[in-house]
């Protein structure tokens, strides 16, 4: 175990400043350096397995109201990737239109990752995809509304998290009472760009409607209908499995509060005769510096209930993050509770987070820095992230994982910062995003307000 460092200062350097607008750098699509004063956005992505390049993704921002990429599927006759004879096929297309009040695509799941696969995150969880619940990978663009997102994969290479491709059309409508209504028509492609009927990728239309205010709370209604591309032989319950185990309608209520906020979600069957009610409660205990996030359900009652406890010091700096299982007595904070996670965070004398210790006081996650910015993140002594900067601006991120064959996988993203208004994003990764639309690294702990915001159903 690596030596622990005492905390000599309670001032937390905001290391996640690497992920907000104001960072930048990277190379242009032609391999030349592109510099500017805007937020960093992807230029090229290189995908490696076992050290060998398997494909690339090259981005283009030259068309008005469009962000698009092409997949590089073969290095061409010269055998070298990133040269003029590369073979390109398929890619991502994000289409926008000007808007005075643009909204991101509504959440695919009414309540993000709440409970089991039956909560609307079905397909994403099947793929073990880290997500805040959105299907969309297109970034937020200031003053523009996303209206269409499409991925086409052709040839031998397709980024795994895109699967075989999909098309999502978004219609946004403002309502008289100040709320909004949004529909997402999602069609998933199979082989030869044909619509697929295989779970968990079932094409559908999700309609989301928000009403309410910050005092009385908000109501969030989601309905799911089959895509009209299907024949009459494809039943509504089969389509709605994508939305959650046969539920065609969900009504989520967000009840905000200073010390306690709550999400109540009712999931209805095909004839509204059966309702499954779930709760998520976020309780802030300032005297203990704890934010407790618990879940419960009715019809049927939840078994093996879990609570997540985020611990903060007097300056609301995160110092612990644990999961509690209620145990056989089904009572929280009793002797038979199962404790997992990170009971202790270790900071250096400058307030930079060095490690998150597990219940055996071993460093589960470790962090290194380039000045006041995160340089690398290790999980169980294996590198998962590597950040690089140019002139104190984000220039490159490498994300590491392993295949089922235990082969090392690397996604390397090079950035540019000459595109106005586009929020920083990671291609084909559905990471949580802050209120400005900038991606958040899920391996780094969030502050209290961010946790509460991400716990909302919209």
Q: Is 120 exposed, middle or buried (0-12, 13-18, 19+ CB in 10 A)?
A: buried
Helical ranges in 95-184 per DSSP H: 122-126
pLDDT for 230 equals 62
CB within 8 A of 179, min separation 6: which ones?
209, 210, 211, 212
In 3D space, the residue among 96, 446, 70, 110 whose CA is nearest the CA of residue 253 turns out to be 110
Residue 2 has pLDDT above 70, yes or no: no
pTM > 0.85: yes or no:
no
For residue 248, the model assigns a pLDDT of: 66
Q: What is the mean pLDDT of the chain?
A: 79
Q: Are 403 and 409 in contact (CB under 8 A)?
A: yes
Inform me whether the pLDDT recorded for 181 exceeds 70: yes
Going by the DSSP 8-state scheme, the letter that residue 422 receives in this structure is B
Is residue 287 pLDDT above 70, yes or no? yes
Structure tokens at 100: 């005075």
Backbone phi, psi, residue 404, to 5° = -65, -20
Distance CA 155, CA 90 (A): 8
Work out the pLDDT band at 164, boundaries 50, 70, 90: low
Whether 190 has a pLDDT exceeding 60, the answer reads yes
**93-102, 381-390, 399-408: which range is least confident on average?**
399-408
- Residue 263 CB contacts under 8 Å (≥ 6 apart), including other chains: 111, 114, 252, 253, 254, 255, 279, 280, 281, 455, 456, 457
Inform me whether the pLDDT recorded for 64 exceeds 50: yes
**pLDDT tens sequence across 13-40:** 333 433 333 333 333 333 333 457 899 9
Distance CA 39, CA 239 (A): 39
Whether residue 442 contacts residue 452, with contact meaning beta carbons closer than 8 Å, is answered with: no
Identify the band that residue 404 occupies on the pLDDT scale cut at 50, 70 and 90. Answer: confident
pLDDT band of 300, cuts 50, 70, 90 = low
197-208 pLDDT, tens digit per residue, is: 555 556 777 788
Say if residue 231's pLDDT is above 60. Answer: no
Minimum mean pLDDT range among 112-116, 300-304, 404-408: 112-116
* 3-class secondary-structure state, position 86: coil
220: its two tokens: 């969030």
pLDDT interval class at 222 (50, 70, 90): confident
Q: What digits encode the pLDDT tens for the residues 232-284?
A: 555 555 554 444 445 567 788 889 888 999 988 887 766 666 677 888 899 99
How far is 185 from 167, CA to CA, in rounded Å?
8
Q: What is the dihedral of CA 112, 113, 115, 120, to 10 degrees?
A: 70
β partners of residue 56: 46, 72
What ranges do the domains of the chain cover?
A: 15-454
pLDDT recorded at residue 72: 92
Residues whose CB falls within 8 Å of the CB of residue 118, separated by 6 or more in sequence, listed in order: 244, 245, 247, 267
Cα dist. 201→47, 167, 204, 246, 352 in Å? 24, 12, 9, 14, 42
Q: What residues have CB less than 8 Å from 150, skipping those under 6 apart?
A: 92, 93, 165, 166, 167, 168
């Amino acid at each position: 175990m690596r030596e622990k460092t005492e905390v000599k200062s309670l001032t937390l350097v905001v290391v996640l400043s690497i992920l907000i607008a104001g960072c930048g750098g990277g190379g242009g699509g032609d391999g030349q350096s592109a510099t500017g004063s805007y937020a960093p956005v992807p230029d090229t992505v290189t995908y490696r397995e076992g050290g060998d390049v398997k494909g690339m993704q090259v981005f283009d921002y030259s068309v008005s109201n469009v962000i698009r990429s092409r997949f590089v599927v073969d290095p061409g006759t010269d055998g070298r990737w990133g040269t003029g004879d590369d073979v390109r096929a398929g890619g991502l297309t994000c289409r926008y239109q000007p808007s005075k009040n643009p909204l991101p695509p509504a959440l695919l799941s009414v309540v993000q990752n709440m409970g089991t696969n039956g909560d609307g995150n079905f397909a994403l969880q099947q793929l073990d995809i880290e997500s805040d619940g959105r299907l969309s990978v297109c970034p937020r663009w200031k003053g523009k509304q996303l209206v269409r997102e499409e991925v086409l994969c052709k040839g031998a290479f397709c980024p795994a998290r895109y699967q075989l491709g999909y098309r999502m059309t978004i219609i946004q409508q403002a309502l008289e009472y100040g709320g909004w209504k949004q529909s997402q028509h999602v069609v998933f492609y199979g082989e030869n760009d044909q619509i697929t009927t295989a779970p968990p990728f079932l094409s559908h239309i999700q309609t989301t409607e928000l009403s309410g205010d910050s005092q009385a709370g908000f109501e969030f209604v989601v309905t799911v209908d089959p895509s009209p591309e299907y024949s009459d032989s494809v039943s509504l319950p089969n389509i709605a499995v994508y939305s959650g185990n046969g539920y065609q309608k969900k009504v989520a209520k967000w009840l905000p509060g200073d010390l306690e906020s709550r999400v109540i979600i009712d999931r209805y069957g095909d004839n509204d005769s059966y309702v499954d009610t779930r709760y998520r409660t976020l309780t802030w205990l300032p005297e203990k510096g704890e934010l407790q996030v618990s879940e419960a359900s009715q019809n049927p009652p939840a078994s093996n209930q879990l609570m997540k406890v985020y611990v903060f010091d007097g300056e609301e700096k995160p110092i612990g993050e644990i999961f509690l299982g209620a145990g056989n007595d089904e009572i929280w904070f009793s002797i038979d509770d199962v404790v997992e996670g990170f009971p202790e965070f270790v900071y250096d004398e400058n307030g930079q987070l060095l490690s998150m210790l597990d219940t055996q006081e071993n460093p589960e996650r470790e962090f290194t820095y380039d000045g006041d910015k995160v340089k690398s993140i290790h999980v169980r002594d294996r590198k998962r992230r590597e950040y690089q900067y140019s002139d104190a601006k984000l220039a490159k991120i490498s994300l590491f994982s392993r295949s089922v064959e235990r082969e090392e996988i690397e996604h390397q993203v090079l950035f540019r910062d000459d595109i106005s208004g586009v929020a920083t994003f990671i291609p084909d990764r559905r990471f949580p995003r802050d209120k400005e639309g900038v991606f958040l690294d899920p391996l780094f702990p969030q502050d209290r307000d961010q946790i509460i915001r991400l716990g909302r159903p919209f």
